[in-house]
Amino acid sequence: MEKPLILVTNDDGITAPGLRALVSYMREIGDVIVVAPDSPQSGMGHAITLDSTLYSKKMQVDLSHTGTEEYSCSGTPADCVKLGLQELLDRKPDICVSGINHGSNSSINVIYSGTMSAAIEAGIEGVPAIGFSLCDYNWEADFSPAEKYIKNIVKEALINGIPNGVVLNVNIPKLPKKDLKGIKVCRQAKANWKEKFDKRTNPMGKDYYWLTGEFELLDKGEDTDEWALANGFISVVPTQFDLTAHHAIQDINNWNLK
């Protein structure tokens, strides 16, 4: 039988250690093709490139990964998936995995995440997809404690399939292997960012701003991704890209709309 074809992408860039780790893990499961940004694209959400050209370059980042096709892309994470599916792959992948992101994409962070937007783009195109993130922003982060869990999640997704219209958002706590308690399938916690802008002035007298803020957890539930991560579990949230608020349709229909 043909090995499963696995499309690997991310938002931290094709040379990011998290992506290099994910490529290594996926090579043990199937044939891998990488299409990833040529530079960091964190926080890009589901942006796509419309007003400029896209470039792609075939390359080999890791000499130990012989036999794995890799392409850098000048666009966003969503661009990478679009370009990969439409132009660079010779057949539809069996699954798309995005990450491993340097930093959490739990709770409200999923809205801004380039990592998850790449996975969601694959899901929109009918490809089963999973986004992986480690709650550690350090470029030298250790991804190995979660290796067996990542492989298991991907294998189970290949065997069982992922429901149509659903993409898995997987977040991994920053813990040594011995302290990881397992996996929790849960819901996205209600949270927000209490944002502020750090206003500064450059030497030419022109004002500029740095966005800063604090994460506010607004949810005390014990069935959420934030609870799972705080208690040593890897969180798996089934995420949908149909943004319709179905429960509100009847309420809006009761308005006096003319």
Binding site listing for a divalent metal cation: 11-12, 42, 101
* Residues of each annotated binding site: 11-12, 42, 101
Residues paired with 194 in a beta bridge: 214
* Cα(54)–Cα(33) distance, integer angstroms: 19
